[in-house]
């Protein structure tokens, strides 16, 4: 997604003046204009109430400064002062300076991803062909902003991606604010993920990857991600049943209450009884998130280095 900025500086030492011609500006200059116009965040939509009639969320554009002094923008969904999901916005190469100082945004998806998405994508490619032409079958339960499935669809155009989201309003938000696009190879079903798994297992459907990012925002819950129902024995068996022989489960883990070690033990004990191998990694750039992967095959060594070469990443 791109964030396009149109603004003017007044009484500023940057010497940026109003112009109808595009100008190349630094992230700091763009962030300063954003903050001057809106503050640290801009409300795109306020009080979007979900189907339960009690839970209402808001959609915001945010600007943040990193430890190394760089600025970045991201779009997020908030509930009860907690960030539910987010997607990075790309700073445009050029900006137009206009007299009214208005900051606007357009939202073409650019296929960008954060380190959390990168961690999940690495594991996704454990047994899936490491190629942009891969035609893997992917099931994602929990849409959020749609960042992961949209990134995969943009990067691996032949992947067959099925997304299941229980909350209709979140699907609407993803379409409206996060550039979710559906087609024959990228579809979203609005239904209970557990019911989808049960039906898929009964039909004999198989997926190379099952990604679960289904969360509960209740601060009193022991485990927020996944929701409690995904810790049930029958649901775990359904997930196992719909995976192909080379399949892998990828699950986001999070607790707002318990320390990571407790979450690790609780979830691993349940899934380790069904899958031959389960492994959990901490997401350094997004604590206290963790990512668990489960499969019936041994882990592949040296995958990260191979994946970095595939992406052309130089560390």
25-54, pLDDT tens digit by residue?
A: 788 888 888 888 888 899 999 999 988 788
Does some domain include residue 86? yes
Does some domain include residue 80? yes
Domain that residue 39 falls in = 19-97
Q: Which helix (H) or strand (E) holds 108?
A: none
Same structural domain for residues 120 and 161? yes
d(CA 276, CA 197) in angstroms, rounded, equals 20
Same structural domain for residues 43 and 178? no
Does some domain include residue 108? no
Q: What does the pLDDT read at residue 10?
A: 34
CA within 13 Å, CB half, 97:
16
Same structural domain for residues 128 and 56? no
Same structural domain for residues 204 and 267? yes
Per-residue confidence band for 205, with pLDDT thresholds at 50, 70 and 90 = very high
* pLDDT reading at 315 higher than 80: no
Residues 1 and 107: beta-carbon distance below 8 Å: yes
> What are the Cα distances from residue 238, in Å, to 3, 233, 243, 302?
41, 9, 9, 30
CATH number at residue 247: 3.40.50.150
Does some domain include residue 107? no
Does some domain include residue 238? yes
In terms of pLDDT, which residue wins out, 166 or 115?
166
Q: Cα 70 to the chain's mean position, in Å?
A: 22
Does some domain include residue 103? no
According to DSSP, the β-strands at 71-79 and 56-65 are antiparallel
Per-residue confidence band for 55, with pLDDT thresholds at 50, 70 and 90 = confident
Closest CA to 29 of 48, 12, 43: 12
Same structural domain for residues 154 and 295? yes
Does some domain include residue 70? yes
Q: pLDDT tens-digit profile of 174-201?
A: 999 998 999 999 999 999 999 999 999 9
Closest CA to 18 of 9, 27, 26: 9
Same structural domain for residues 128 and 273? yes
* pLDDT reading at 11 higher than 90: no
* pLDDT reading at 8 higher than 60: no
Same structural domain for residues 252 and 135? yes
Q: How many CB atoms lie within 10 A of CB 7?
A: 24
Give the pTM. Answer: 0.83
d(CA 2, CA 90) in angstroms, rounded, equals 4
Which residues fall within 8 angstroms of residue 127, CB to CB, at 6 or more apart?
208, 246, 247, 248, 295, 297, 300
Same structural domain for residues 191 and 48? no
Residues 97 and 8: beta-carbon distance below 8 Å: yes
Same structural domain for residues 156 and 302? yes
- What total of structural domains would you count in the chain? 2
CA within 13 Å, CB half, 44:
21
Residues 63 and 75: beta-carbon distance below 8 Å: no
Q: What does the pLDDT read at residue 285?
A: 67
Same structural domain for residues 54 and 135? no
Same structural domain for residues 124 and 218? yes
The residue from 43, 62, 97 where one domain ends is 97
């Amino acid at each position: 997604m791109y964030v396009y900025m149109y603004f003017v500086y007044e009484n500023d030492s940057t010497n940026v003046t109003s112009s109808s011609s595009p100008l190349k500006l630094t992230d700091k200059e763009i962030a300063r204009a954003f903050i001057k116009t809106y503050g640290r965040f801009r409300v795109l939509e306020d009080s979007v109430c979900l189907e339960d009639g009690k839970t209402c969320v808001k959609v915001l554009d945010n600007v943040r400064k990193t430890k190394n002094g760089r600025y970045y923008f991201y779009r997020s969904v908030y509930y009860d002062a907690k960030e539910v999901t987010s997607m990075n916005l790309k700073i445009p190469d050029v900006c137009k300076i206009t007299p009214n100082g208005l900051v606007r945004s357009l939202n073409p998806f650019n296929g960008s991803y954060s380190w959390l998405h990168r961690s999940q994508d690495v594991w996704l490619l454990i047994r899936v062909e490491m190629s942009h032409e891969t035609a893997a079958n992917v099931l994602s339960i929990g849409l959020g902003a749609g960042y992961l499935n949209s990134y995969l669809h943009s990067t691996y155009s032949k992947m067959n991606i099925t997304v299941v989201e229980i909350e209709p309003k979140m699907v609407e938000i993803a379409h409206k604010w996060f550039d979710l696009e559906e087609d024959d190879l990228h579809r979203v079903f609005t239904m209970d993920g557990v019911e989808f798994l049960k039906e898929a297992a009964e039909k004999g459907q198989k997926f190379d990857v099952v990604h679960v990012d289904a969360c509960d925002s209740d601060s009193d819950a022991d485990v927020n991600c996944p929701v409690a129902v995904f810790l049930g024995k029958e649901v775990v068996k359904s997930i196992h049943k719909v995976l192909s022989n080379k399949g892998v489960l990828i699950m986001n883990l999070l607790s707002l209450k318990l320390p990571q070690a407790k979450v690790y033990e609780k979830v691993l004990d349940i899934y380790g009884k069904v899958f031959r191998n389960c492994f959990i990694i901490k997401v350094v750039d997004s604590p206290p998130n963790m990512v668990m992967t489960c499969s019936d095959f041994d882990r592949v060594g040296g995958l990260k280095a191979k994946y970095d070469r595939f992406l052309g990443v130089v560390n």
